[in-house]
Amino acid sequence: MELIKPGINLDFIGKRRIAFCLSAALVLLSLAVFLFKGPKYGVDFAGGSVIQVRFSGPLDIVKVRDALRAIGIEGATVQSVGDPRESEYLIRTEAFTGKPGSTDTELPPRLQEATGLSVEIRRVETVGPQVGTDLREKALLAIFFALIFIAIYISGRFEFKWAQSALVAAVLGGGVYAVYSFGFSLVVLIWVALVGTLVLFWVLGLKYALGAIVALIHDVTITIGVFTVLEKEFTLPVVAALLTIIGYSLNDTIIVFDRIRENLKKLSRSPLAVVINRSVNETLSRTIITAGTTLLVVVALFFLGGEIIHDFAFALLVGILVGTYSSIYVASPIVLSWEERARAK
């Protein structure tokens, strides 16, 4: 099935400088928002309790907060869940003041006394602060090592430099883990390691791995920036969504890289820019169909999947859009930029 007529020749590569400026602006804006505003961690990473309750009658959200303060739960955030007529709320607090495991038995009568309505506990999640910190660090390591192993795969598949890329990844990955064990900030270490990875790939000429990793960092950073701007919580499902975005974007990038490799043999006399632009155009139909069908499913999850997977679906929605863009305007143009620099030297 082809949505795009064969032989189409849109000038994607000719617009790469505009795309680079747009991408750089979005990435820098995302980093600035993340650093100065800070992420909003969910209970998985920050620790505390999430309690989903349903009242037997209509109750305003302000009165729910007043009732929580009246029973000694200060600083809690309250969010309406589902149909407002059902009076169902999600309560997030640093800690429940009752005994461990006593939420189901102690909280309902105390809320009932404060509101005059019977209360049903629908869900309770509790994570200690130390566990939350450990989960946050492991999530960062998962994303970092996913990028490192992807770099090894791309270099081996398209440039046959398995040993070289594996050595770089082992040194950087081992270095991060070793330095982290001495108590250094994991966030700073990972960003330094990622920048070092890109510099080494550029110097060593691992251009396909460089293009793929830049595109993946681009996708993840912008998705995180959107979450930070909208003050959405970072939870374990969101981390799962980020890893899914990495896999999706990589798959699209590999399709384009495969076509570039094929066309380099067929069009050996043509300039690389022409080969890359033709390859992107030839895979455009497949890209649109894949992104479109995936988006249909994700949109359905976003609107119909319920509150539990709402943020997961939203992360995928942003990631698929950004990942489709990056496979066309970021990954392949990076390969071309490296080749132009090498020839200029």
Give average pLDDT by consecutive 10-residue segment, the chain, 345 residues. 68 89 94 87 77 83 81 76 77 61 67 82 75 76 84 84 82 78 74 82 86 92 93 87 89 89 85 89 87 92 82 93 92 87 73
Pick the CATH number of 48-127 from 3.30.70.100, 3.30.420.40, 3.40.50.2300, 3.20.20.70: 3.30.70.100
Q: Which residues, at least 6 apart from 77, have a Cβ–Cβ distance to it below 8 Å?
A: 91, 92, 93
- Please give the class, per CATH, of domain 13-43+130-344: mainly alpha
At residue 97, the pLDDT reads 45
Per-residue CA distances from 195 to 144, 207, 254, 303, 332 (Å): 12, 15, 22, 37, 19
Burial of 123 (0-12, 13-18, 19+ CB in 10 A): exposed
Contact 148, 92 (CB under 8 A): no
At residue 99, the pLDDT reads 47
Where exactly are the structural domains of the chain?
13-43+130-344, 48-127
Contact 274, 267 (CB under 8 A): yes
Q: ∠ CA(87), CA(93), CA(99), 5° rounding?
A: 100
The sign of the dihedral angle between the CA atoms of 198, 204, 209, 210 is positive
At residue 2, the pLDDT reads 59
Burial of 321 (0-12, 13-18, 19+ CB in 10 A): middle
Q: What is the DSSP string of 162-203?
A: HHHHHHHHHHHHHHHHHHHTTT--HHHHHHHHHHHHHHHHHH
Per-residue CA distances from 116 to 108, 109, 203 (Å): 11, 10, 69
Element of type H or E holding 345: none
Element of type H or E holding 55: strand 48-55
DSSP state at residue 7: T
At residue 30, the pLDDT reads 93
Q: Do domains 13-43+130-344 and 48-127 have the same CATH topology?
A: no
The reported pTM is: 0.83
Contact 139, 239 (CB under 8 A): yes
Return the closest-CA partner of residue 327 out of 205, 168, 212: 212
Q: In the chain, helix, strand, coil percent, each to 5?
A: 70, 10, 20
* Cross-strand bridge partners of residue 91: 51, 78
Contact 99, 106 (CB under 8 A): yes
